[in-house]
Amino acid sequence: MNSRLLAVALSATLLAACASRPVLESESRTTSAGPARLRTVPERFVSAPSPQDELDSLATWPGEDGKTWLIASAKSTHQLQVYDADTGERLRSVGGKGQALGQFKRPNGLAVFGDHVFVVERDNHRVQVLRLPDFAPLASFGEAQLRSPYGLWLNETAPGELEAYVTDSFMYGDKYDRVPPLNELDQRVRRYRLHFDQDGRLSSEYLGAFGDTSEDAALRVVESIAGDPANDRLLIADEDDRRLSTLREYTLAGRYTGRRLPDRSFDAQAEGVTLWSCPDGGGYWIAVDQLMPRTVFHVFDRASLAPRGSFRGEVTAHTDGIVLHAAGTAGFPFGALYAVHDDRSVAAFDLGEIARTLSLSSSCLN
């Protein structure tokens, strides 16, 4: 796999939406490491609003022409919206409501691998795969198992072979707001083995599901998921703020380690999560605290998960999905962090400015 495809695969992250209670941000916060000052990093751009879309999750794709696309799932219009990742200009819309390949019903989590975009569809109960740059539909998988899928993370295990982890946040009750009983929560994440043959055809195999079923550690409301193969780690966001909304750590094999981020890491719902992987093997996790009137982004050490600082933008609020694009572009020579703003716009932060503001390692800036 060439370096461009690997960079895309490692930086793709999915994420998906769930409305949160309005919790006000504070100027400082307390973590296990003591008081931490909340910094401000101005957005480089915020795209023109499109409230009808109900934007959710993000992925990036670097084209062969040197341009980078920022792709967003639009739940209410059942489309994908494509933006120029350097400027935030909307370039095109893809798809529409339906069940055929090339159509969507409530698209949520996104991930890009090579020249393919993977789209989780909550109401079609599947993951659809399309070929870029023309968004030609290729295949789908998961229809036999997925009930209410949201988030997605991909891990390349061999050339042309992936493992896909899909969160499945099925609920009960007339309003679909009742968490299933504990003995059913071992189905919160489903695994698939995917294989591209020499002709580009995709086959899939279901590998089973996992999730802790204990009272204290069960995954109750799950959407966002991201992984770190070098440390055999998955971080899964449990958004159930009626208990403890946090990120819980699993191995890639699906075993809960008993570890989670420190209590009070999140004041609202733990939402999108992405890994900022550095060339020296270090790096950082960035996780969304879905606060109003402005989202707070928490940064944790890649290995120890210790807090390394928090920041917010000047306007970005109520964020669901984020994606980190570590490769330099014309507009972002050190890379960018992209975030959904209030379900209606996409916002961009310069990774160099984040690193300087939080005094993070300069080795992470390519």
Do residues 240 and 219 touch, judged by C-beta distance below 8 A?
A: no
* pLDDT exceeds cutoff 90 at 242: no
Q: Please tell me the predicted confidence (pLDDT) of residue 296.
A: 97
* Domain region containing 48: 3-364
* pLDDT exceeds cutoff 90 at 49: yes
* pLDDT exceeds cutoff 80 at 23: no
Please report, to the nearest 10 degrees, the dihedral formed by the alpha carbons of residues 305, 4, 111, 10 taken in order: -20
Q: Please tell me the predicted confidence (pLDDT) of residue 36.
A: 59
Around Cβ 237, how many Cβ atoms within 10 Å? 31
Mean of the pLDDT values across residues 211-237? 97
Q: Please tell me the predicted confidence (pLDDT) of residue 298.
A: 97
Q: Please tell me the predicted confidence (pLDDT) of residue 27.
A: 43
Task: State how far the Cα of 146 lies from the Cα of 5, in Å rounded to an integer.
Answer: 28
Q: Please tell me the predicted confidence (pLDDT) of residue 262.
A: 86
Residue 140, classed as helix, strand or coil, is strand
> Which residues have a Cβ under 8 Å from the Cβ of 275 and sit 6 or more positions away?
10, 13, 226, 227, 228, 283, 284, 285, 302, 324
The enclosing domain of 269 has a CATH number of 2.120.10.30
Give percent above pLDDT 70 in the chain: 90
The pLDDT-based confidence of 66 (bands split at 50, 70, 90) is confident
Q: Please tell me the predicted confidence (pLDDT) of residue 35.
A: 44
Mean of the pLDDT values across residues 252-278? 94
Overall number of domains in the chain? 1
Q: pLDDT digit string (tens) for 144-176?
A: 999 999 999 999 999 999 999 999 999 999 989
Q: pLDDT digit string (tens) for 308-362?
A: 999 999 999 999 999 999 999 999 999 999 999 999 999 999 999 999 999 999 8
Classify the C-alpha dihedral 178-184-188-194 as positive or negative.
Answer: negative
